[in-house]
Amino acid sequence: MHNLEDVTRLPDDFDGRVRLFPLPELVAFPHAMQPLHVFEPRYCEMLAESLAGDRLIAMATLTGGIAALPQTAPPIASTICLGKIISHSEVEDDRHNLLLVGMRRGKIIREIDASRPFRMAEIDVIDDVYPPSGAESRTRLKKNLLDAFGEIIPVSGNVQQNLHELMAGQMALGPITDIISYTLPFEVEEKLCLLAEPNVDQRANELVRLLRTGKIQLHSVTVEEQLNEPNSPAPRFPPPFSEN
């Protein structure tokens, strides 16, 4: 097992330049595991460079628009999730399976031309903010969030017990919001708003609102699989390997 604090620590020589891996319908989050299947040549080159160096990849979300000019790249959301490769295996025909753990939020300052076939950008890293004014009420907010999450989890087997064992211990509110935000099938726009919010209390309150008012249907089998096997390399819940 990897120590999460060690994994999510930025390299000492990190200069804000990141490799971008844009995918549609995918919003990665810090503290969440994202399986990926890489086969397109430009992303295989990106992967090779990453593995030979800092092992970092910034997951970006394609926003569904079209490029303004034929030579320009499709638009992406300005908020990204910087991840680190913690597992990699090469399969047949130069295809690769990897497991990425979300490290930090980031905001794209500008895309840069680095003479590579894949996109790169300069980013500002965004840290979680815990406002001092919310310190006294944060325990209650954490309970409200876990209660709202528990209400949509099907009561089956040990799901509820495992949920509390995984989430209600010493885990801070920020990582809890990220894991729930990643795991549940919210709309892409809603996930991007959650990813873009550094204020942990505001993020948790918005997540509680979505859980209370949203129409989320989960299947007990897939939920139980994830809660019982949270380290599975390609669980059905969260979704399976994302392909480029």
Full DSSP string of the chain: ---HHHHTSPPTT--SEEEEEEEET----TT-EEEEEE-SHHHHHHHHHHHHTT-EEEEEEE-S---SSTTSPPPB-SEEEEEEEEEEEEEGGGEEEEEEEEEEEEEEEEEE--SSSS-EEEEEEE--B--GGGTTTHHHHHHHHHHHHHHHS---TTHHHHHHHHHSSS--HHHHHHHHHHHS---HHHHHHHHH--BHHHHHHHHHHHHHHS-----HHHHHHHHH-TT-SS-SSS--PEE-
Looking only at the bridges linking them, the beta strands covering 79-91 and 242-243 are: unpaired
What is the pLDDT, as a whole number, of residue 9? 86
Same domain, 183 and 211: yes
Same domain, 91 and 154: no
Total domains in the fold of the chain: 2
Q: Which residues pair with 33 in a beta bridge?
A: 101
List, for residues 206-228, the tens digit of each pLDDT value: 999 999 987 665 544 344 444 44
The answer to the question of residue 222 being in a domain is: yes
Between 164 and 36, the more confident residue is 36
Q: What would the mean pLDDT of 59-81 be, rounded to a whole number?
A: 83
Spatial separation of the C-alpha atoms in residues 2 and 30, rounded to whole Å: 15
91-95, 191-195, 227-231, 240-244 — which one is most confidently predicted on average? 191-195
> Residue 67: which CATH number?
2.30.130.40
Tokens of 123: 């980013």
Q: What would the mean pLDDT of 196-214 be, rounded to a whole number?
A: 95
Same domain, 101 and 185: no
Range of the domain at 165: 132-228
Nearest to 60 by CA among 117, 120, 14: 120
Confidence grade of residue 6 (pLDDT, cut at 50, 70, 90): confident
Q: Which of 101, 126, 151 is the last residue of a domain?
A: 126
The answer to the question of residue 241 being in a domain is: no
What is the pLDDT, as a whole number, of residue 231? 40
Q: Which residues pair with 57 in a beta bridge?
A: 83
Same domain, 115 and 172: no
Spatial separation of the C-alpha atoms in residues 73 and 21, rounded to whole Å: 12
List, for residues 121-173, the tens digit of each pLDDT value: 999 999 999 999 989 999 999 999 988 988 887 665 566 666 666 565 778 99
What is the pLDDT, as a whole number, of residue 59? 98
Tokens of 206: 């918005």
Same domain, 101 and 144: no
Spatial separation of the C-alpha atoms in residues 232 and 18, rounded to whole Å: 27
The answer to the question of residue 239 being in a domain is: no
Same domain, 10 and 122: yes
Tokens of 20: 């971008």
Q: What is the pTM of this model?
A: 0.84
